[in-house]
Chains A and B, each alone.
Chain A
Amino acid sequence: MKKKKWLPYLFVAPYLLHFLVFVAFPVLFSLVLTFHKWNIISPMEFTGLDNYTRMFRDKMFWKTIGNTIQFLLVHIPLQLIVALALAEFLNQNIKLKGFYRAAFFLPVIVSGVVVTILWQQLFGFDSGLFNRLLTNMGMDKVGWLIDPDIAMNSIAIMATWKNVGLYVILFLVGLQTVPPHYYEAADIEGATHWQKFRHITLPMINPTIFMVVILSTIGGFSLFIEPYVMTGGGPLNSTLSSVLYIYKQAFQYYHMGYSATLGFFFAFLILTVVMLQKRFIETEEVD
């Protein structure tokens, strides 16, 4: 019995060590950094709340949050509609289901770097595939990545293409939890397809919708590699995401303290948004 006393601690020791080094210390250190000015090579300089006041006046930082919101406003509805539609189709007892599912899922597993390099070509202005298709159909070229009003939407479309396969699967799981006799009952009452979808399917898969919204939100808030590779944050900073901006502050200008401040605040913002979403969707469910 003596042995048993320390053994569990041995089992969790690697985790605790890891937690201290890579979670607890960083969080505390980050908090300390937010009150300092530090470019890594010179000594740290205490600056009180300067970083915070600077953040509230930093128009660029707020623009990055606006950009993120713009991304989410396109990405989330698109993702929900496409994923739900494809899942609904797949759920109708069709042949080659495995093939379709595998095809939709392919972009999910491939590195974001691959997807961005590929779509950068598809979005090309002069000879990109999309613009060639448009000109062949006699339409004007679109500045997918070079028009400041469009670029973020283009990235949102690409991100949807990359992730939607995962959500198709999640919705499919959700759809299969709907008991078939609900539909049978509705059929007897002569309900249309849309009515069945609206009044049976949607309420039943509400938890899945909630999950998809949360996951997409978190994913959208960590948008980095897509603008980093495709646009560098341009044109006119229209695709500058908050994470890219935080990265630039730290690793291009070496404003470690300021970057930590932005990171801290941004993390706080994410938690708040996710919590609000949770609250909102839960009250919806109660209704």
Chain B
Amino acid sequence: MGIREELENVTAKLVVKNVSKTFSSSRGKVEALRDVSLRVGEGEFVCLVGPSGCGKSTLLNLVAGLDKPDSGEIKVDDIPVKGPGRDRMVMFQEHALFPWLDVFHNVLFGLKLKPNLTNPERREVAKFYLHLVGLDKFANADIHELSGGMRQRVALARSLAPNPRILLMDETFGALDALTREQLYGEIQQIWQKRKKTILFVTHNIREAVCLGDRVVLFSPHPGRIIETFDIDLPRPRDINDPALTEHSGKITAMLKNQTEGSAEE
């Protein structure tokens, strides 16, 4: 495989069908997901929102292949998910970069595990993605020398480098300060438009979900399930401070409030 094919835009559709997952702990069983179904089209940006404990992160882990569902199935381009795979890369809330490697070698880590590439090609690809996130100059920096926002950018480059079809983001911007976060909202939209990835983005911040997603999927806890899906048809790139977002986020917040009050009365 040559470098041109390697850098091609690839994407995939994702199908989640009747998935359930229960965790058992010493305090009893927690039904994290009950009968959840979801379709994500090629190149679509879908945000999963909901209060903590609603199973949105569980679903992300199942799609990533880090956990197995109790029932139901998950398919990427009609192929069932059996475990972790390079076609689905995950970005966590903590950057999860390796402190024993410099920035460049962190980005290179996943590429080294990818067969059919020569080492110069791998280095070329890593450079391409470092450039994409604007960190060319920091290739040889150590991780602790970077700011929180820069670390998440390296993590993004590392996730994009093996050229996955689907990018899974688990509260990726949650630990950053507001200013850095706003900047990254713009960048992730740009990169998504350039690279045409399918993105599944988990967050508890409704405004953030509305800002980023083509669709926002609202989850409700105990048991975790999807209660509503919202299409967001605002033009891109979107700004988090755009008043037009408020209309959508207000609607979602209202529905979420309804739900939690309803379940509290049960």
Co-complex (A, B): no
